[in-house]
């Protein structure tokens, strides 16, 4: 399976490595708006930098991996569908729910797999929760709690184009809730600026609690902070009628030091590239399985639209100080 990569940045490099590590896939081309970046990555892999149009026109290329900036995702998916390529696209589809809904329609017409890069679904810890839960090991689901803190806030310049915390950061957690509990009925969002006043000045929040209310009474809580001094905190906790499942942090090492001052141990793995390295590899294997083995796509455009709808509802809830029904934002209200 021959693959072209859009985007030669940090996450593009991670995906390039995953493509190379899976014996069933082969990286054959890379494109980037910065020609030097494309050239550099292409050279490292002994392949060619190509223009997007060339890639789509090349019939020998089976799949495209879209890891370029968010504002290019929707267009590239549409072009990929038109060119009959299998598509793997980083989240989100777009910052606009309307735009994402149009992409969903177009992707629905594709005969090839179109997959969204919700990498956390493939983390062995969260996947382990999903498996145990679906197997009924803790009975019926009742409450879900997702904790997701970044080690440090991004630059304000990034925040300004990010679409805001709910669409940029919590989008992963919305997807995690949808992954485990499905889609809620309504969303209640709270948010503050406690970490960096510049983020507040840019109109965004850096500290947030969102509650998802399900039609059958289940409740999910998401907590986000742009800064945890101890590093990248990524946990999930699920209470069911017959027990609880937790996915705790992975830590840097297992050394424990006991002295008169107390007992100390390592911090969580820093940062998403370290923590989710295994997830990126498993995720890519799942895409290859879908393309070459006809297996179902484990994270669809529909999933991307759903996560975006929850972010949109959260934004509206925060602004208006009331619970917002998902149907309301899906209807384009």
As measured in angstroms, the least distance from the Cβ of 317 to its own copies is 10
- Of residues 223, 305, 311, 314, which one binds its own copies by CB under 8 A? 223
Please tell me whether residue 221 binds its own copies under the rule CB under 8 A.
Answer: yes
Residues 299-328 that bind its own copies (CB under 8 A): 321-323
Q: Which is nearer to its own copies, 10 or 248 (CB)?
A: 248
CB of 301 to its own copies, least distance (A): 29
Selected binder of its own copies within 51, 192, 295, 327 (CB under 8 A): 192
Residue 106 Cβ vs its own copies, minimum distance, rounded to whole Å:
37
Size of the site for its own copies (CB under 8 A): 67
Alpha-carbon distance 48 to 139, whole Å?
52
Please report how close the Cβ of residue 120 comes to its own copies at its closest, in angstroms: 13
**In sequence order, which residues have a C-beta less than 8 Å from that of residue 290 and are 6 or more positions away?**
86, 113, 115, 296, 297, 298
Q: Per-residue contact track with its own copies, 80 to 109, x per CB under 8 A?
A: ------------------------------
Q: Which residues contact 244 (CB under 8 A, 6 or more apart)?
A: 138, 237, 238
Q: Which of 129, 159, 310, 311 binds its own copies (CB under 8 A)?
A: 129
Looking only at residues 237 through 296 of this chain, which bind its own copies when binding is defined by CB under 8 A? 239-267
Which 45-84 residues touch its own copies, going by CB under 8 A?
none
- The reply on whether position 40 binds its own copies by CB under 8 A is no
What count of Cα atoms within 13 Å lies in the side-chain half-sphere of residue 75? 8
Pick the binder of its own copies from 58, 142, 274, 302 (CB under 8 A). Answer: 142
Answer yes or no whether residue 217 interacts with its own copies by CB under 8 A: yes
Say if CB 147 and CB 120 are below 8 A apart: no
Comparison of 59 and 255: residue with beta carbon closer to its own copies: 255
> How many angstroms separate the CA atoms of 298 and 263, rounded?
41
The widest CA-to-CA distance across the chain, in whole angstroms, is 67
Least separation in angstroms between residue 149's CB and its own copies is: 7
- What whole-number distance in Å separates Cα of residue 165 and Cα of residue 319? 13
Give the separation between CA 125 and CA 135, rounded to whole angstroms.
15
Residue from 47, 106, 202, 211 touching its own copies (CB under 8 A): that is 211
Residue 5, φ and ψ in degrees, nearest 5: -110, 130
Q: Is 137 in the site for its own copies (CB under 8 A)?
A: yes
- CA dist 250 and 112 (Å) reads 35
3-state secondary structure of 7: coil
3-class DSSP assignment, residue 209: strand
Query: Which residues have C-beta within 8 Å of that of residue 15, sequence separation ≥ 6?
Result: 5, 65, 67, 88, 280, 284
Which residues contribute to the site for its own copies (CB under 8 A)? 124-125, 128-129, 132, 137-140, 142-143, 145, 149, 188, 190, 192-195, 207-209, 211, 213, 217-219, 221, 223, 225, 227-230, 233, 239-267, 321-323
């Amino acid at each position: 399976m021959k693959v072209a990569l859009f985007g030669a940045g940090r996450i593009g490099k991670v995906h390039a490595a995953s493509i190379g590590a899976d014996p069933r896939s082969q990286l054959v081309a890379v494109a980037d708006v910065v020609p030097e970046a494309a050239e550099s990555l292409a050279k490292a892999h002994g392949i060619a930098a190509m223009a997007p149009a060339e890639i789509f026109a090349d019939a020998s290329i089976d799949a495209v991996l879209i890891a370029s900036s968010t504002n290019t995702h929707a267009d590239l998916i549409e072009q990929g569908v038109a060119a009959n390529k299998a598509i793997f696209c980083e989240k989100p589809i777009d910052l606009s729910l309307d735009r994402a809904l149009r992409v969903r329609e177009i992707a629905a017409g594709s005969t090839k797999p179109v997959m969204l890069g919700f990498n956390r679904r493939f983390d062995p810890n969260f996947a382990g929760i999903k498996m145990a839960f679906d197997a009924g090991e803790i009975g019926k689901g009742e409450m879900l709690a997702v904790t997701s803190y970044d080690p440090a806030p991004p630059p304000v310049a990034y925040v300004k184009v990010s679409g805001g915390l709910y669409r940029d950061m919590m989008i992963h957690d919305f997807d995690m809730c949808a992954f485990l509990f499905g889609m809620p009925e309504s969303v209640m969002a709270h948010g503050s600026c406690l970490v960096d006043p510049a983020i507040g000045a840019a109109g965004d929040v850096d500290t947030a609690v969102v509650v998802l209310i399900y039609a059958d009474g289940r409740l999910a809580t998401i907590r986000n902070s742009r800064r945890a001094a101890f590093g990248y905190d990524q946990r999930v906790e699920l209470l069911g009628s017959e027990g609880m499942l937790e996915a705790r942090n992975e830590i840097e090492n297992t050394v424990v030091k006991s002295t008169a001052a107390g007992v100390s141990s390592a911090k969580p793995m820093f940062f998403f590239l370290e923590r989710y390295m295994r997830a990126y590899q498993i995720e890519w294997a799942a895409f290859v399985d879908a393309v070459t083995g006809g297996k179902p796509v484990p994270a669809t455009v529909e999933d991307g639209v759903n996560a975006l709808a929850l972010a949109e509802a959260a934004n509206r809830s925060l602004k208006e100080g009331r619970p917002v029904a998902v149907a309301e934002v899906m209807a384009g209200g």
